[in-house]
Structure 1
Amino acid sequence: MAVAEADLCAFCSDLVGTLGDTSKLPQVRPHYPTYGSLLSSSKTCPVCRAIVASWRSVSLDSENAEIRNGYPSKIVVTATRRMSSGVTWKFLEASLISTNTVFSYSGHITLESCASHDPASKLPIWNNLVTTFEQKVSVIRLWLDDCLSHHFPGDCRPVPFSPLRLLAVGQDGRLPRLVARESIPLEEARYAALSHCWGGEVPLRTTRDNVAAFTQEIPWALIPKTFSDAMLMAQGLGIPYVWIDALCIIQDDDEEWQKQAACMGKIYEGSHLTICATQSANSTQGCFPPEVSNHQDIFRTNAGNQSAPDIIVRISRGDIRSRALLGNKLTDRGWTLQEQTLSTRVVSCLQPDVHWYCQSCYQTQSGLIFGPGDMLERDLRWETPVLYRRLLQESHLWQSTWRAVATNYSGRRFTVTHDKIPAIAGLTRYFALAMDDVPLLGLWKNTFGADLSWLRLSDKPPMPSIQGLPSWTWLSCARRIVYNFLDWTDPCDASLESQWMDHVQLLAWEIHWTGTPLASSPKIARVKVDGPVLLIPIATFPTGDTFNPPYLQVFGENLVSTNNITKIPWRCAGQFDAGPVARGEYWCLLLRSRTSNVDTAEIFLVLESVGPKTDMTYKRIGIAKIWGSPPAFVPSRRMSIFLV
């Protein structure tokens, strides 16, 4: 379908038609002054329509229409660049100020444009609403060839690995079939790995009953579309094999599955290319499901200048650089985090344009290209699964990056809850090698005290902990966790992290596995730590419970608010991991503290005794942060205890 023509308002014509001065960013652009005037213009101007749509995620409809329409608006160009392809890229922030509340709203859109004389304007993606499968594969082939020829080998080269089985895609004229590792020399085991959503029951799986037949042939008619698309893509790229979990692992062989789960990270590290079915909900929709909303608009305009060449414009909601990494079908699933993170080359199958990222760059079918350092805005970069190894090695941010990984991973879903351990085993091994550290169920030997300071995001009601896991690991939490809540730690700012003093010393640990280490449930998992302890009276109260995290009453403090409205009158924020509990006295273990010229902030675990008190064994039941002067804890009053 051809690209339609559209007229822009005067403000948006100027916005689209000028590159802007990159030395003066962020740059406020002249535009309609209020929400009402923007809303009126959005009836005819597609850029205004995209700006208004960027605010749809907030509850504007519930506010008084007359007041709402007078809200001041502001359009800011936060980043802009002209690519070598001739494409101009702009990243816009649209803000809206509520005049009758303390709230402000912000939305983001991406503007891509190219003139009819620019090289990119000849590409199919700039002349059609969608492109064909063959056109997408052609672009991927160019990216792959360029990566092989020009990118620094140490960055993008896969780590050689030969999986137990691979699926021959039929380049030799035969039907697809499973091929055993022993039949393929390591130097010839070039394969693409598929990252996909199972979406319930997969219609084709390898089992004990059919594995022998599948080593002879697998009829194309049996292969679901997502699988066949990946195989055809590999064919078109000259890659002889693919690895698909449902077919390359015998699914009803528990022993084989566990062994293969343990080396899943190596499988994706070794893939020549990882193909992500990013928008597919299951294996039958294909890698490019046509019914998926692309959240994009494309049109042709002269930007108000009849004598100038036409400009083709693509508008995307949000940051187009995050479409492959945030808020799609795959980023919701637990297994896919390490699949995308450990792969050195990834192609994300999106409508309407394919995205690519490797260790050297991020590219889109429309002609955008970004380096590792500027792929995403700073705040988004910590929420995405891409690990740029060279940047991490130069910045020494492995530990804070792991905590960002933990935050990302903890919010993902699993069909089988206990997959939460094996699905991150590959990443755990990778970080253990990079940091020269010992993994302890999502925490680390060298930073164990600081790693204990995770906080469950306050969901009501909270879900119970995952059975079989110790209370001290965030893996036991069935909800999303964070490390940087209320500046407890800040993974984006190493200087803030360095201001904290750690008080817990890890003395010993004991972890025994039910099966393969790091890829099975723990049979025994306990640690011995030494640190400052204090018996603290703690209670929840209704007003404090309205905050996130809630405020707690400690030491029987007065709960009556003062007239000082600039400061919350209570001095302890935190929560119990399993939800509010009755008033009581709890042993608390000081994890970290930071002293300013005003007071001292102290982060501590709330503990509950397990078994006889003489055993000195406790479990974590909550975490909190207390402010005050003098500090609540006395560092010299220490105790050695076991945590389970």
Structure 2
Amino acid sequence: MTSTPPSMSHSSSSTPTNNICDRCQGVPWDLIADPKQTSTDPYLWVSESHGQLKSSSCRICRLLANIKSPSLDGKICPLLSQRTCWIQCRSKWILDISQSSNLVHFGDESRGTIEVSRPDQIINIGIQRIDPEHVSFKRLQDCVSYCRQNHSRVCIRPTFQPASGFRVINCTDPAQRIVPAPPECKYAALSYVWGNTTRSCSSGVYPQVIVDAINVTLSMGLQYLWVDRHCIDQNNAMDKHNQISQMGNIYANSEITIIASAGTDATYGLPGISRPRKQQSGEVINGISLLEGFPHPVHAVKESAWARRGWTYQEAFLSPRRLVFTDYGVWYLCDKICLAEHEKVPITKISSLPTFEIRTFTPHPDLDDRYVAPRTRAANDMIVEYSRRELRYASDALDAMLGVLQFLETKGVYSIWGTVIYEERPVINWQHKHPGKRRPGFPSWSPLGWEGPIKLENFLGYNDFEVALGEKSETPLPGQNPISTTAAGLAKGGKDAPRFLHLTGYVVDLLLENIQWADSRKSHQTTFHLAAGEYKHNHTLSDGTYASLRISPETSVLAKAKLDGAEGPGASTRTRPVLGLLLRRYSDDAYYPHLMDPTVKNADFLLLERRQGGGGSGAWCWYYERIGYLECKIRAQEEEQQQEREKDYLQDTVFVDGVSGDVLDDVSIPRGDPLWREGAGWRTVVVG
């Protein structure tokens, strides 16, 4: 073994012995199989691409192709070993390692693992071969029973009362009719992607995924199954409204939720029920068995069509126990443990939700923190995750998240129109990664008012604005706190709250201009002259929409706007006036005084554009809508380890001459407030 790459490519002209190349023959597989032996040094370095390995004449190389994904092409990857118990078990340091197998993989980016074991080895913790045609229901039943007996305080949703007046499919009925749910009904729920199927929603006429879900329900010892499209009368507006308002209650009180994460519509069915799963590959070399272990199912699920749908977010999140069907097997997931079907481990030793990616599907532990800041941060992460999902109907944006918002209220985190409230203010300092599309019927200041993923690096603190909630033509009384009072008094995530924020703060008039930089000017170096010394920054000027803010008589800064919506025709030449509402002014010297120059300050603005709308008594009044976000970053740091971070901050900031508009090579940041601050007026704007 060696910790540095040897010659990594094996000659294609060499003749493999027993269909195994010399390189793979030279790996000490017997040593890797010894549970008492582990090493942090690589056993092998592999430079071939996924395709090259897959087409190799060596059968071990072809097996390695299964765990070296195409995303690793072009990289020289080390083959590493690790004890299975260190990955799968919560008490990894006290286990009897003699009964744990060893795995090999290509590091954190590996698409899976390969178990290495001897034929006579007793393995209680390792990889097991799954039947591609049939699901191991006994194992799943044991997981559910263990959860019921041991997680009574965790895997429950006590604040969600059982739903009333809902219907279920009677799976034991030969006709599989839809019937009223009996008292104290124990049922499974189905979470799936409808797709574009036009098949009838009548009783007994079901697409493949529901036929398979009925099979799973019976195999798990349950009689009833709830499926939204069939158990809700789609032609009865009153019933539809009543049932949709109880969706959170229905999933929260299910015994299990069957998640169909494979496929793109209801015709695909469930792998392991009506269609086979992927077959695990295996080989034997010099008497040592090699068996493929699939990658963690969370990766396949997050890339699925199911994980892109808006409604499925709360369906998974609120369910106490989940059976996730993938093409790689079934994944059991409750709020405490997760277990993939191919993993062999005693239930009492199963790992406790080790990765942050699983928190997409389960309540974040920080929601139970005694302090409001961690709870708010966890809630904001949930809003960010939800924003990347798609909805068939824009009008569903709040309904599809309503159960989650109600759940957050039980944790003391309130929201209005899907916007989390922190320290008496709605968190409105989010920004879009890419311009999206406006959703009618929702406030522009809420993430629900737009399609498209958002990002939120931190929620507001040290705010420079005040806020109240009301209507366009009504000014809330001073001294009141309608935001927190209204949110705490509403039981449905602020659905019935007023839609207009009365924001009072420093407002500046801005001009947005689309700038296309000449290729010869895109690469630029700026030298900053600061009290702490001289600082040079290399950056690339990017085309886009900028706003100009004067920081001194001689210098202005162009800050790139993060627009919420795509600009229409003529945007490339249009200059338009907008308002910039100062959300906060700050300097990181408050946090890192030894790193920051105290004269350097930054600011974040909400970009607002004026609209005309109906006021009271037939009158007309002006209000504003959010159109984007502006970060004016004019700071610089001295420390070498901060250079990469500074590139991100200054990438969208350009310093220009205040008269000619030419890009500056040398910039001196003056002490005190920037010049734009002197021209800012303290006023109230109504934002809807």
Is 2:39 the partner of 1:54?
Answer: no
Measure, in 2, the Cα distance between the counterparts of 1:542 and 1:42.
46
What is the alpha-carbon distance in structure 2 between the residues aligned to residue 474 and residue 391 of structure 1?
Answer: 21
Cα deviation, residue 341, structure 1? 0.5
Contact 1:90 1:111 in 2 (8 A): yes
**2:633 maps to 1:617:** no
Question: 1:203 maps to which residue?
Answer: 199
Cα offsets for 1:474-520 (capped at 9, x unmatched): 11212222223xxxx2xxxxxxx68x5233332224599xxx99599
Number of the residue aligned with 1:279: 262
Hey, what does 1:579 align to over in structure 2?
Answer: 566
The counterpart of 2:466, out of the listed 487, 498, 505, is 505
AA partner of residue 263 (structure 1): Q
Q: Which has the larger radius of gyration?
A: 2
**CA shift for structure 1 position 297:** 4.6
Q: Give the CA deviation at 1:337.
A: 0.5
Aligned to 1:165: 166
Of 412, 416, 419, which aligns to 1:435?
412
Q: Secondary structure at the match of 1:314?
A: strand
Q: CA deviation at 1:289?
A: 7.2
Hey, what's the Cα distance between the residues in 1 that align with 2:451 and 2:49?
43
**Structure-2 separation of matches of 1:224 and 1:539:** 52
SS at match of 1:157: coil
Equivalent residue in structure 1 for 2:501, among 527, 552, 567: 527
* TM-score where L is the length of structure 2: 0.69
Query: Counterpart of 1:552?
Result: 546
CA distance 1:552–1:525, change in 2 (3 Å): same
Q: Where do 1:43-442 residues align within 5 Å?
A: 43=56, 44=58, 45-50=61-66, 52-55=68-71, 73-75=76-78, 81-82=84-85, 83=88, 86=100, 88=102, 92-93=106-107, 107-113=109-115, 115=117, 116-117=119-120, 126-127=128-129, 130-132=132-134, 135-149=135-149, 151-159=150-158, 161-171=162-172, 175-181=175-181, 184-186=182-184, 189-201=185-197, 203-206=199-202, 218=204, 222-288=205-271, 297-302=280-285, 305-306=286-287, 310-316=288-294, 319-323=295-299, 325-367=301-343, 374-376=353-355, 378=356, 380-381=357-358, 384-389=360-365, 392-393=368-369, 397-437=374-414, 439-442=415-418
Shift of 1:467: 1.7
Q: Deviations over 1:193-250 (max 9, x none)?
A: 00011112352414xxxxxxx5xxx4xxx33321122122111222121111122110
Cα drift, residue 616 of structure 1: 6.4
How far apart are 1:165 and its partner, in Å? 2.7
Percent of paired sites with the same residue: 16
Q: Within 1, Cα distance between the matches of 2:289 and 2:361? A: 35
Shift of 1:554: 1.2
User: Displacement, 1:110?
Assistant: 2.1
Q: 1:536 aligns with which of 510, 518, 543?
A: 510
Please report the RMSD computed on the Cα atoms of aligned residues, expressed in angstroms. 4.2
Provide the rounded CA distance (Å) in 2 between the counterparts of 1:624 and 1:14. Answer: 60
1:446 aligns with 2:422: yes
State the Cα deviation string for residues 338-368 of structure 1 (Å, max 9, x = none). Answer: 0000101000012332101101101011126
Match of 2:663 in 1: none
Q: Which moved more, 1:424-433 or 1:276-285?
A: 276-285
SS in 1 for 2:469: strand
- Partner amino acid, structure 2, of 1:311: S
SS at match of 1:589: strand
Post-superposition CA distance 1:45-85 (Å, at most 9, x none): 135424553326xxx7xxxxxxxxxx662437597542578
For structure 2, the 5+ residue unaligned runs are 1-17, 90-98, 473-485, 523-539, 589-595, 635-668
The separation in 1 between residues aligned to 2:148 and 2:542, in whole angstroms, is 49
**Cα-to-partner distance string for 1:431-459 (whole Å, 9 max, x where unaligned):** 1221242x21111333575621222222x
- 1:566 is matched with which residue? none
Structure 2 contact 367–379 (Cα < 8 Å) conserved: no
Distance 1:501 1:334 in 2: 33
Paired residue type of 2:549: F
8 Å contact 2:432–2:452 — kept in the other structure? yes
Distance 2:445 2:220 in 1: 47
Q: CA deviation at 1:267?
A: 0.7
Partner of 2:110, secondary structure, is strand
Distance 1:297 1:366, change over 3 A: closer
Q: Choose which of 33, 45, 52 in structure 2 pairs with 1:32.
A: 45
**What is the SS of the residue equivalent to 2:271?**
coil
Shift of 1:296: 7.0
Q: What TM-score comes out, normalization by structure 1 length? A: 0.74
CA distance in 1, matches of 2:585, 2:30: 52
1:592 maps to 2:590 = no
CA contact (8 A) 1:168 1:177 kept: yes
- Count of residues paired in the alignment: 552
Relative distance call for 1:404 and 1:165 in structure 2 (3 A) is: same
Deviations 1:531-578 (A, max 9, x none): 2222234423113999789572413799xxx9xxxxxx9662332222
The alignment partner of 1:300 has SS state of strand
Superposition deviation, residue 464 in structure 1? 3.3
For 1:467 and 1:230, the matched residues in 2 are separated by: 36
Deviation at 1:407, TM superposition (A): 2.2
CA 1:415–1:553: 2 relative to 1, 3 Å: closer
Code of the residue aligned with 1:203 in structure 2: it is R
- Shift of residue 623, structure 1, vs aligned partner: 0.6
Shift of 1:326: 0.6
Inter-partner Cα distance in structure 2 for 1:233 and 1:198: 19
Say if 1:298 and 1:313, in contact at 8 Å, map to a contact too.
Answer: yes
Distance 2:543 2:455 in 1: 11
Whether the 8 Å CA contact 1:278–1:329 is kept in 2: the answer is yes
Secondary structure of 2:115's counterpart equals strand
Give the letter for the 1:507 counterpart: A
Deviates more, 1:262-271 or 1:443-452: 443-452
Take 1:443 and 1:372, find their aligned partners in 2: how far apart are those partners? 34
Q: What residue identity is the alignment partner of 2:324? A: S
Letter in 1 for 2:565: A
User: Does structure 1 conserve the Cα–Cα contact (< 8 Å) formed by 2:101 and 2:125?
Assistant: no
Q: Relative to 1, partners in 2 of residues 1:147 and 1:549: Cα closer, same or farther, differing over 3 Å?
A: farther
Contact preservation (8 Å) 1:341, 1:385:
yes
The AA in structure 2 aligned to 1:53 is S
Paired residue type of 1:621: I
Distance 1:330 1:472, change over 3 A: same
